[in-house]
A and B are shown apart, each in its own frame.
Chain A
Amino acid sequence: MIPQETGARRQETADAGGLPHRVAAAARLAPARSLTAVALPVAVAVGLVAAVGPDPPEQSYYVYVAAESDDEVSIVRYGPSGAENVKTISVGSFPAEIEGPHGLSVGPDGRYWYVSIAHGFPYGSVHQYETETDTWVGAVMLGLFPATLDVSPTTGLLFAANFNLHGPLEPSSISVVEVETMTEVARVDTGVRPHGGRLSRDGSFFYSVNMMDGELVELDALGFEVRRRLSLGDGVMPTWVTRPTTRGKAYVTGNNVAKIFEVDLSSWRVQRIFETGRGPYNLDLTPDGSTLVATYKAGDAVGFWDLDSGRERARTGTSRTIPHGVVVTPDGEYAFVTLEGVGADPGTVEVYRVASGERVAAVDVGKQAGGIAFWKMEE
């Protein structure tokens, strides 16, 4: 038997030690409270419902989740009866190949959802489905390993980062797609291994990070050209950038340096740096911009940051290894987190209460759960 290289399933508790980290700016983190992961029974099959955690919501929240090693997208609901995998949709078209669904997005009008398929011959693609029926509508071939997606609320154009994770270290690009016809209408070279990408609220700019260039890139989303670049430091490997807040800030992960950078978009410089758990990977914000939620891929944990104080108010260990994506509900109450797992382990979707960092639910989906997108809330 070969020793497992990484990721044997671990049942870690959260970081019980203090967090006496000092950040560059004036804000100082208070030692974190000792946290214990909440262990809940999890559903292991579609249709089974997790045991209900404390204070379940009165309404239901729906997310789409990609299982990268099963070529599936699941619809997960968290509601009064707990978390449930309500539907699984097979994606891709080659049964004997793992094509790798990676990024997800739901269009601003809620009528369609989009998934990036990483692998092809050789290029990846983005596929469009109807949300109510999950009927496939169309597809467009893009670059190598298209990953993160976002759809503009003002132009309706879809932006996809061509990650090119396994290719040579040469510049890749951002694709721009007209979704009415699923046609690539522009491709903008940005840098090496672009990943993460979010549009500004007015759709004027698309922000992305170049993982191997250590840069945050601002793309003119109306003219399809790079406007500004910001270096985050030598050797920094950023993996995500948030949508800009109403205060004009964006947050960027420094995955290999255990940091999150707060960038002021007006002055175009790093304003604060947060010392985080190991491997901050994906981020999301509450709509009011008060809380930042981070997945720590190498640390098997999720962090909750109060942005006014600049302190991590909670860090919770995940129930399975390799956390990946995160999305916060529009009411700011919950964060959904995906966990990849190892080998034949199912992927998992966990639900956390944002205010406390408490895990309140979890449900298994297909292998290597990664990309996630919020769909809707229902009474």
Chain B
Amino acid sequence: MLIVAGAVSLTVALGSARSQQPEEPAEPLTIEVSPNRLTIEVGEKASLTATVRNAAGVVVDGATVVYFSRARRSVAVTRGGEVEAYQPGDFTLIALVPSDPDDDSRRPDARVEVEIPVTVPKPEVERIAFTTVPLKFYAGTRPRLAVEVIDVVGDTRTDVEVSYTTSAPRVAAVDRFGFLTLLQSGTVEIVASAGGVSDTLSVAVDANPVNSLELHASAATVRTGDVVRLTAIAKDARGLTVREVPVQYGVGGQTAPGIIAAGAAAQIAEDGRFVAERSGTYTVVASTGSHSAARTVSVERREVRREVEVVGRGKVLDRHTSDLWIWEGTDGRDYAITGTWGADGHAYVWDVTDPANIEKLTEVQVDARTVNDVKVSEDGDVAVISREGASDRQNGIVVLGVGNPREGVPVLSEFTDQLTGGVHNVFISEGHVFALSAGRRFDVISIEDPRNPHRVGRFELETPAHSVHDVWVSDGVAFSSNWTDGVVAIDVGGGGRGGTPAHPVELGRYDYPSGWTHAAFPYRSHSTGKFYLFAGDESFPFGAFNPEKGGAPSRATGWIHVIDWSDWDTPRDVARYQVPEAGSHNLWIEDDVMYVAFYNGGLRVVDISGELMGDLYKQGREIAMFLPGDPQGFIANAPFVWGPQPFKGHIFFTDWNTGLWAVKLADHTGPGAIIGEPQ
């Protein structure tokens, strides 16, 4: 039997044990912990006492017991068995006796240990308070009340059931969701209760002054995906507009003949915005309780579908291809640069002046395994490529001269300082490179003298576990994509808050529950002037696959979020473009058309003209879809589109398994296949 009494003595004992084989297995031990289960409140402490006994039941003095918690940030336990609770819930502590490493008789998993269940009840409710209260209450209407529940440790609780009562049911009824039904004028007290505490709201219900209700629509005939604004105007007996009257909207109707079992074909928002996914006739009804009004809208098919024609290719079949950039050189010819992934650190430069005859001009090789990103300056003179997997682990970026690739692509400089963690993405704006550093921040590197790059600034979030994937700069505002922290807008010279490349200033941020924020493209709509930020997800929830040559294709998920960011302080997620069978990657928007890579879902081209709301895919806004493939591809016949860029009437894109493509959209020749629409 080996008892752990201390490190030194244990080592000596071990040496002794090794010098002679034990003739009998070590005696089995047992461990008991008192108490063997715990219930403690948040912020409270308790003590555990462990007793180790041998097979004869005799207490083993000085036995070493190791304690740990499976949720140490919720319940902690010290080496001495002192327990402290931080969060409510059910947790498990472990107490174990280390085994003898020389005891081969005992099964490896027969370690002497015991679990101690710990229950930390949810804190009691301390107070409840009404938060959102309308200014006026009118009979016949149905406003909703909101409350906030706070517990004794100061947390806002959303898991506590709230009950409501009314003191005058003839004046007002209230349901369990907090909706009031105001029946007649008078006074009433509404009480909200939770966890033994309550709050009372005195409500004076006025006679409803509404004498008539009008409903106006911004358009009577639209296409699927077009947003119609319904405006309800309530007037009193004098014909004057009545404000602060709650209006509720509903929509019903019929889809066009031939559309069967369409599902939810149209939607109406609380502010009266309407959009339809299917053609048909829809009636919107507005109600103030006492009065209602209806307006019918006719919705036609959007008919934007176009076919894709392949124009040319720059085949890369022996390795994966990453990103691309197309530009016009100083010689007036058009060029492309593409990166490679998981190979030998190459970037390729192509002449794409004639997209039907793409010509590889040169290969640039750097010490890397992946050149994940390639960017070219606005003047087409300088390119920056990123490095990952360098043999010396220095990584960083390389600056190339690309003004006239036919005359060569010289290496002007490289920059690795504090960029050792691999530069996954870069962007060039006004003589500065925005380069990601180890996936945690972006550095701003001046390349005003491209032969002497130097760091001038950086930007990093302060949130726990922050991480950055991409940065895109437009009009002096950088948009960084930060996974669970969402998209962050940063003034680097054009945001109006004094930010510069050397001293970036945050303008605002927006995150969403999935935490998949991967890329961002800022865009001001040509048709509406509205500023949107298109945030793209990237997610692979279906696990690993084999990316080797001849391996198996994979499948992504995630979509494009359309964020109305007219005000830096109040971003709103208003629409999405989601492909059911695939997930998004890089995107580009130009002339109210979005070009987006959807990995295994290929290249998608989407009409984003007009105001955007709802599910753009189901609205029939998809102009085109193209699935590249090649039986000789690095992974055969496996579309995996990385990123697109429209340029001079063509759409260039890279595909991970096949290289560079140039396609164009054929002229619209009539209604094509539209999801759920009759042919």
List residues of chain A with CB under 8 Å of any chain B CB.
1-2, 4-7, 69-71, 90-98, 108-109, 111, 119-123, 152-157, 165-167, 176, 178, 181, 183-186, 200-205, 220, 222-225, 244, 246, 248, 266, 321-322, 340-344, 367-368
A367 touches B99 (CB 8 A): no
Give a binary string over B211-223; 1 marks a CB under 8 Å from any A CB, 0 the rest.
0000000000000
Of B68, B424, B544, the residue contacting A90 (CB under 8 A) is B544
Give chain A's interface secondary structure class.
loop
Give a binary string over B296-336; 1 marks a CB under 8 Å from any A CB, 0 the rest.
00000000000000000000000100000000000000000
B70 touches A154 (CB 8 A): no
Identify which of B274-282, B391-399, B470-478 touches chain A. B391-399
Residues of A within 8 A of B111 (CB): 155-156
A94 to B516, CA, bound (A): 12
Of A98, A123, A184, A341, the residue contacting B370 (CB under 8 A) is A98
User: Which 10 pairs, one residue from A and one from B, show the smallest C-beta to C-beta distance?
Assistant: A166-B421, A109-B108, A344-B344, A154-B98, A122-B467, A166-B438, A7-B391, A185-B68, A223-B79, A342-B391
A166 to B424, CA, bound (A): 13
A5-B392, A96-B656, A98-B388 known; A166-B10 Cβ under 8 A: no
Residues of B within 8 A of A156 (CB): 108, 111
Identify which of B159-167, B360-368, B623-631, B664-672 touches chain A. B360-368
A142 → B minimal CB distance (Å): 12
Q: List 26 A-B contacts (CB under 8 A).
A: A2-B364, A2-B366, A5-B394, A6-B367, A7-B392, A90-B546, A96-B341, A97-B424, A98-B342, A98-B369, A98-B422, A109-B109, A121-B467, A152-B98, A153-B101, A165-B420, A166-B438, A183-B71, A185-B94, A186-B68, A200-B7, A201-B11, A202-B10, A224-B68, A343-B344, A343-B391
B368 → A minimal CB distance (Å): 7
A139 → B minimal CB distance (Å): 11
Of B367, B421, B538, the residue contacting A342 (CB under 8 A) is B367
Which of A154, A185, A200, A222 is most buried by chain B, counting CB atoms within 10 A of its CB? A154
A109-B109, A154-B99, A342-B367 known; A5-B540 Cβ under 8 A: no
Known interface pairs A246-B18, A344-B344; 7 further A-B residue pairs with C-beta atoms within 8 A, sorted by A's residue number:
A98-B369, A121-B483, A153-B101, A178-B94, A342-B391, A343-B345, A343-B365
A90 touches B547 (CB 8 A): yes
The number of residues on chain B lying at the interface, defined by a beta carbon within 8 Å of a beta carbon of chain A, is 75
A205 to B7, CA, bound (A): 8
B133 → A minimal CB distance (Å): 41
B544 touches A95 (CB 8 A): yes
A296 → B minimal CB distance (Å): 16
A202 touches B14 (CB 8 A): yes
Residue B439 lies at the interface, judged by CB distance under 8 Å to chain A:
yes
A342 → B minimal CB distance (Å): 4
Of B15, B341, B368, B484, the residue contacting A121 (CB under 8 A) is B484
A96 to B109, CA, bound (A): 38
A156 to B656, CA, bound (A): 42
Residue B8 lies at the interface, judged by CB distance under 8 Å to chain A:
yes
A1 touches B389 (CB 8 A): no
B540 touches A165 (CB 8 A): no
B349 → A minimal CB distance (Å): 12
A166-B421, A246-B15, A246-B18 known; A90-B393 Cβ under 8 A: no
A213 → B minimal CB distance (Å): 18
A336 to B183, CA, bound (A): 85
Residues of B within 8 A of A96 (CB): 341, 538, 540, 585, 599, 642, 656
Which of A69, A91, A225 is most buried by chain B, counting CB atoms within 10 A of its CB? A69
Cβ < 8 Å to A, chain B residues 629-677: 642, 656
| Identity of the chain B residue whose Cβ is nearest the Cβ of A341 in the assembled complex | B391
A352 to B639, CA, bound (A): 44
